[in-house]
Structure 1
């Protein structure tokens, strides 16, 4: 059986996309709220809107999780 190849680029690659800066939890939470409000009006029938929403939400969620983890270690 041959090795399976992927023909897409994932949203997140841990080797290339690790967060360099982790904001304070309050800032990460504020940013998450802002992007949630912004993406709430995205047109579900517009492919580009859905891509932008997915990427924006994914980025802020990763930032929020990193801030929560950092807060737990402090």
Structure 2
């Protein structure tokens, strides 16, 4: 018997919920470097640590793309 978890699903990014403010690229880049260092020694066999690192990197990557787009608009 399986459990339906679709009702409990919360996406990592929801444009209606998440802020549209984009930090400057130099700030996001500095934070990304800090995040990489913070998760560099995470135990690959620790499920919680891997989830935390993946979510953190996903959010930071989204911020990096937004900051790059804001800094150099594509026409």
TM above 0.5: yes
Question: How far apart are 1:66 and its partner, in Å?
Answer: 0.5
Q: CA deviation at 1:16?
A: 2.7
Runs of 4+ in 1 over 2 A off after TM superposition: 5-17
- Alignment-derived partner of residue 62 in structure 2: 62
Deviations 1:8-39, CA, capped at 9 Å, x for gaps:
4332233333x432111111111111101111
Matched, 1:10 2:16: no
> RMSD of the alignment, in Å?
1.7
TM-score by length of 2: 0.76
Supply the distance in 2 between the matched residues of 1:24 and 1:10 (Cα, whole angstroms): 25
Find the counterpart in structure 1 of residue 33 from structure 2: 33
Deviation at 1:46, TM superposition (A): 0.6
Q: What TM-score results when the alignment is normalised by the length of structure 1?
A: 0.77
DSSP 3-state at the match of 1:67: helix
Q: Which runs of 5 or more structure 1 residues have no equivalent in the other structure?
A: none
